[in-house]
DNA sequence: GCCGTTTTCGGCCCGACTGTTTTCAGTCG
């Protein structure tokens, strides 16, 4: 039966062990690096064409580098067979991994390294440097490391070498500078508004037809490496000039007839691509999916006798079958269209061929927002102002959740102050129509797992949000006990921003999430997806993992500290989409009466 | 080296841009 095919689908993300233990990730990263270097070195073999062997090593490196489960554990549990289950890993590479896990060395790597004693892993990270150029510099100047390279650039030894000119040397100098300034991926919350500002300007220029954001920004990944903006225009030359003069643009890196790449002042590259109307949908599809998603979609096209590229879907006679609309491309391939957030090759390609893409939460589903602050603590607006703004956004209810007393830097409230504040919420409710204001608080889970307010105070709220703000560096065991104790108190409705990570700034707390999720399920604790762009916590991978606990419910909140922050709901919803969360699991997608029944079990 | 709903052999996604070139290699996404 066709149903039996389910089990053959690879959905590695669903059995993910996330960033809990940096040690194991380090080991994966090391193996990925070695396999990548093998690929680099094989590239240099001029005797035989090993193009596809190189490709195989790269794919394997990619698989292991992006795995969240410890590769050593996979091997320990299932041996070579388990390794060969992984995409792109067959007998040969599985053997190499086994060798590394048991001896710390891969013989093939050691052999190649004798011939090419060069730090490919670092040097290939410099923009414009690939294996061939690196090898040439080694062969002629004995450059082995980034330090060697820097010296050679400073002494202008590179220009004049065969295949290198003045421009190449400048490019390398720029590449080194950029590498050393630590080219970190940028938080979505910073990159997306920048992209939207440029889209607005281009849209108002009178030079373009369509202008939209694509790439990882459209997929709403929590961090982005660069921006992609897609444009249709009859006047591509003028568009190029317009882009070069936008104040956001620091300098133009390259500019051709269809593609312009610029460095933005905020420290991010942005690709602008100009395409014809009839190719717009194909280009949007092409520049939105992640690499693996796109490879799979193109393979489906090939299997059906088509060719798919950014210009359209073409049959054997090179006739255009689809391309103007993105949906049209998927439909012509017999695929169900899925939201951009899902295009990460986490099983969506296979499901879409069988019309089985789950219906995930959408912004329109959100009826309320259960986490926000007011002037009573560290917010900027009053209860009434927040309610009025939320009503303008179409929310049916909000929950006011100011801080408890341990958050003294935020002006946290003690029991007496909190009770008075709850009275203020009652008054505000009486003055407001068309939206219900719920009584809550963001209550600290203290070091010992107790909660920061009296039971009596908490009992007079509609629900509680509980979270950790202090003692973030406890051991895994202590942290896990701390959270579980709070969950078992009977006074914890929602676990707010569970892992406490701040994107690009603070690592998540060390906690056994599986035990915590189990306790949440047992005690009816709702998990928050905090949509504040610095947090986005739970993140996509942890949502995928938590939703496997079938009774766990979620809340998607903004953690707003001023009224405009209530618009940040889209970050939370997109994160939930990336976690394949269905609306039935989200409590604040429920109407008020149903929500109230859910909040205290 | 990997992989299989046209294949266990013979394929492997596809195109843009640049610099240093006299027709293309290297790199990137």
* Å from the A350 CA to the B11 C1': 22
* CATH number of the domain within which A177 lies: 1.10.150.110
In a domain, residue A2? The reply is: no
A592 or A251, greater pLDDT = A592
The mean pLDDT value for A537-562 works out to: 95
Q: What's the pLDDT score for residue A579?
A: 96
What does DSSP say about strands A307-309 and A436-444: parallel, antiparallel, or unpaired?
unpaired
The nucleotide closest to A269 (CA, C1' atoms): B29
Q: What's the pLDDT score for residue A212?
A: 96
In a domain, residue A11? The reply is: no
Name the residue with tokens 């921006």: A227
Mean pLDDT of chain A: 89
* Å from the A544 CA to the B11 C1': 35
d(CA A357, CA A339): 10
Q: What's the pLDDT score for residue A307?
A: 87
d(CA A59, CA A230): 28
* Å from the A308 CA to the B24 C1': 25
H-helix or E-strand containing A229?
A: strand A226-232
In a domain, residue A268? The reply is: yes
The mean pLDDT value for A161-186 works out to: 82
The nucleotide closest to A304 (CA, C1' atoms): B6
* Å from the A212 CA to the B23 C1': 37
Instruction: Clarify whether residues A60 and A151 are in a common domain.
Output: yes
* CATH number of the domain within which A204 lies: 3.30.460.10
Cα dihedral A198/A203/A209/A212 (nearest 10): 40
The nucleotide closest to A170 (CA, C1' atoms): B19
Q: What is the DSSP letter of A507?
A: P
* Å from the A325 CA to the B6 C1': 29
pLDDT tens for A427-460 read 999 999 999 999 999 999 999 999 999 999 999 9
In a domain, residue A410? The reply is: yes
* Å from the A352 CA to the B7 C1': 25
For residue A342, pLDDT over 70 is answered with: yes
The mean pLDDT value for A106-112 works out to: 93
Q: Which residue is nearest to nucleotide B6 (CA to C1')?
A: A303
Instruction: Clarify whether residues A394 and A477 are in a common domain.
Output: yes
Range of the domain at A235: 186-274
pLDDT tens for A399-415 read 999 999 998 778 899 99
pLDDT tens for A214-257 read 999 999 999 998 999 999 998 888 999 999 999 899 888 888 88
pLDDT tens for A343-365 read 998 889 999 998 999 999 999 99
* Å from the A53 CA to the B11 C1': 13
In a domain, residue A19? The reply is: no
Q: What's the pLDDT score for residue A10?
A: 30
Tell me the CA end-to-end span of chain A in Å, nearest whole number.
41
In a domain, residue A16? The reply is: no
Instruction: Clarify whether residues A556 and A502 are in a common domain.
Output: yes
| End position of a domain, from candidates A353, A380, A404 | A353
Q: Which residue is nearest to nucleotide B28 (CA to C1')?
A: A128
The nucleotide closest to A57 (CA, C1' atoms): B1
* Å from the A175 CA to the B27 C1': 13
pLDDT tens for A46-55 read 777 788 888 8
| End position of a domain, from candidates A157, A182, A207 | A182
Q: Which residue is nearest to nucleotide B17 (CA to C1')?
A: A256
User: A183: pLDDT confidence band, cut at 50, 70 and 90?
Assistant: low
* CATH number of the domain within which A300 lies: 3.30.210.10
Q: What's the pLDDT score for residue A343?
A: 94
Q: What's the pLDDT score for residue A435?
A: 97
User: A21: pLDDT confidence band, cut at 50, 70 and 90?
Assistant: very low
Contact A528, A371 (CB under 8 A): yes
Instruction: Clarify whether residues A447 and A591 are in a common domain.
Output: yes
Q: Which residue is nearest to nucleotide B12 (CA to C1')?
A: A52
Instruction: Clarify whether residues A314 and A398 are in a common domain.
Output: no
Helix residue ranges per DSSP H, A304-441: 326-332, 348-353, 383-392, 415-431
Instruction: Clarify whether residues A195 and A170 are in a common domain.
Output: no
Contact A590, A367 (CB under 8 A): yes
For residue A22, pLDDT over 70 is answered with: no
Q: Which residue is nearest to nucleotide B16 (CA to C1')?
A: A259
A11 or A538, greater pLDDT = A538
pTM beyond 0.75: yes
* Å from the A252 CA to the B18 C1': 13
Contact A169, A153 (CB under 8 A): yes
* CATH number of the domain within which A454 lies: 3.20.20.140
pLDDT tens for A161-172 read 888 888 888 888
Chain B nucleotides covered by protein, CB below 7 Å: 1-3, 5-6, 11-21, 25-29
* Å from the A81 CA to the B4 C1': 18
Instruction: Clarify whether residues A145 and A245 are in a common domain.
Output: no
Contact A446, A406 (CB under 8 A): yes
Q: Which residue is nearest to nucleotide B3 (CA to C1')?
A: A88
d(CA A567, CA A531): 10
The nucleotide closest to A291 (CA, C1' atoms): B29
Residue A245's CB is within 10 A of a number of other CB atoms, namely 8
Strand-pair partners of A463: none
* Å from the A590 CA to the B2 C1': 48
The nucleotide closest to A254 (CA, C1' atoms): B17
Going through A379-488 in order, the beta strands assigned E by DSSP cover 397-403, 436-444, 465-467
Q: Give Cα separations from A458 to A453, A470, A481, A490 (angstroms).
A: 7, 20, 22, 10
Q: Which residue is nearest to nucleotide B20 (CA to C1')?
A: A163
Instruction: Clarify whether residues A152 and A247 are in a common domain.
Output: no
In a domain, residue A5? The reply is: no
The mean pLDDT value for A260-272 works out to: 89
In a domain, residue A175? The reply is: yes
Structure tokens at A556: 């998607």
What does DSSP say about strands A436-444 and A465-467: parallel, antiparallel, or unpaired?
parallel
Q: What's the pLDDT score for residue A179?
A: 80
Q: Return all residues near A157 (Cβ < 8 A) that are at least 6 apart.
A: A141
A59-69 b/e (C-beta count within 10 Å ≥ 16 → b): bbbbbbbebbb
Structure tokens at A504: 């690009």
Instruction: Clarify whether residues A157 and A228 are in a common domain.
Output: no
Q: What's the pLDDT score for residue A601?
A: 46
Q: Return all residues near A176 (Cβ < 8 A) that are at least 6 apart.
A: A126, A146, A149, A150, A153
A501 or A519, greater pLDDT = A519
DSSP assignment of A119-138, as one string?
A: -HHHHTTSTT--HHHHHHHH
Specify the number of domains making up chain A. 4
Structure tokens at A485: 């104790």
Instruction: Clarify whether residues A253 and A296 are in a common domain.
Output: no
User: A26: pLDDT confidence band, cut at 50, 70 and 90?
Assistant: low
Instruction: Clarify whether residues A382 and A510 are in a common domain.
Output: yes
Instruction: Clarify whether residues A325 and A401 are in a common domain.
Output: no
Q: What's the pLDDT score for residue A559?
A: 95
DSSP assignment of A61-99, as one string?
A: HHHHHH--S-HHHHHHHHHHHHHHHSTT--HHHHHHHHH
A552 or A507, greater pLDDT = A552
Q: Return all residues near A166 (Cβ < 8 A) that are at least 6 apart.
A: A159
Q: Which residue is nearest to nucleotide B13 (CA to C1')?
A: A295
The nucleotide closest to A135 (CA, C1' atoms): B26
For residue A288, pLDDT over 60 is answered with: yes
Contact A131, A124 (CB under 8 A): yes
Q: 3-state DSSP call for residue A100?
A: helix
* Å from the A218 CA to the B16 C1': 22
Q: Which residue is nearest to nucleotide B11 (CA to C1')?
A: A52
User: A486: pLDDT confidence band, cut at 50, 70 and 90?
Assistant: very high
**Which among A428, A404, A406 is positioned nearest to A415, based on CA atoms?**
A404
């Amino acid at each position: 039966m066709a149903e039996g095919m389910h089990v053959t689908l690879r959905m590695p993300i669903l059995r993910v062990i996330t960033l809990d233990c940096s040690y194991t990730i380090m080991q994966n990263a090391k193996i990925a690096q070695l396999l990548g270097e093998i690929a680099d070195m094989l590239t240099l073999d001029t005797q035989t064409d090993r193009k596809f062997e190189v490709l195989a090593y790269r794919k394997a490196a990619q698989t292991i580098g992006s795995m969240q489960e410890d590769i050593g554990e996979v091997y320990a549990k299932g041996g070579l067979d388990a390794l060969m289950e992984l995409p792109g890993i067959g007998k040969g590479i599985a053997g190499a991994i086994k060798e590394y896990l048991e001896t710390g060395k891969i013989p093939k790597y050691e052999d190649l390294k004798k011939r090419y004693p060069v730090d490919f892993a670092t040097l290939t990270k410099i923009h414009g440097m690939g294996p061939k150029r690196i090898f040439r510099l080694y062969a002629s100047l004995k450059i082995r490391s980034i330090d060697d390279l820097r010296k050679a650039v400073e002494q202008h030894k590179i220009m004049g070498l065969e295949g290198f000119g003045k421009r190449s040397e400048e490019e390398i100098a720029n590449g080194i500078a950029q590498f050393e300034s630590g080219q970190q991926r940028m938080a979505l919350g910073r990159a997306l508004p920048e992209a939207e500002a440029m889209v607005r300007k281009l849209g108002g220029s009178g030079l373009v037809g369509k202008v939209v954001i694509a790439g990882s920004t459209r997929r709403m990944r929590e961090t982005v490496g660069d921006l992609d903006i897609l444009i249709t225009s009859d006047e591509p030359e003028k568009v190029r000039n317009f882009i070069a003069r936008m104040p956001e643009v620091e300098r133009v890196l390259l500019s051709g007839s269809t593609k312009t790449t610029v460095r933005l002042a905020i420290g991010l590259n942005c690709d602008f691509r100009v395409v014809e109307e009839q190719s717009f949908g194909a280009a949007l599809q092409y520049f939105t999916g992640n690499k693996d998603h796109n490879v799979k979609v193109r393979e489906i096209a090939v299997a059906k006798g088509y060719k798919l590229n950014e210009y359209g879907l073409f049959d054997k006679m090179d006739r255009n079958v689809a391309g103007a609309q993105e949906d049209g491309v998927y439909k012509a391939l017999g695929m169900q269209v899925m939201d951009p957030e899902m295009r990460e090759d986490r099983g969506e390609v296979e499901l879409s061929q069988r019309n089985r893409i789950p219906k995930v939460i959408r912004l329109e589903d959100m009826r309320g927002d259960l986490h926000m602050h007011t002037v009573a603590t560290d917010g900027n607006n009053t209860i009434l102002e927040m309610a009025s703004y939320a009503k303008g956004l179409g929310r049916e209810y909000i929950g006011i959740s100011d801080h408890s007393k341990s958050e003294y830097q935020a002006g946290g409230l003690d029991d007496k102050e909190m009770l008075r504040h709850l009275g203020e919420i009652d008054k505000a409710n009486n003055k407001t129509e068309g939206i219900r204001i719920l009584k809550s608080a963001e209550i600290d889970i203290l070091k010992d797992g107790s909660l920061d307010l009296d039971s009596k105070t908490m009992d007079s709220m509609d629900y509680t949000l509980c979270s950790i703000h202090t003692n973030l560096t406890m051991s895994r065991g202590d942290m896990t006990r701390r959270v579980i104790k709070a969950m078992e108190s009977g006074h914890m409705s929602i676990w707010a921003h569970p892992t406490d990570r701040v994107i690009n700034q603070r690592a998540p707390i060390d906690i056994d999430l599986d035990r915590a999720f189990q306790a949440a399920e047992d005690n009816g604790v709702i998990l928050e997806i905090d949509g504040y762009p610095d947090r986005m916590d739970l993140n996509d991978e942890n949502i995928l993992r938590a939703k496997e606990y079938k009774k766990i419910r979620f809340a998607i909140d903004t953690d707003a500290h001023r009224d405009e922050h209530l618009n940040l709901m889209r970050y939370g919803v997109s994160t939930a989409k990336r976690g394949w969360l269905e609306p039935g699991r989200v409590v604040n997608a429920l109407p008020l009466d149903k929500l109230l029944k859910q909040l205290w079990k």
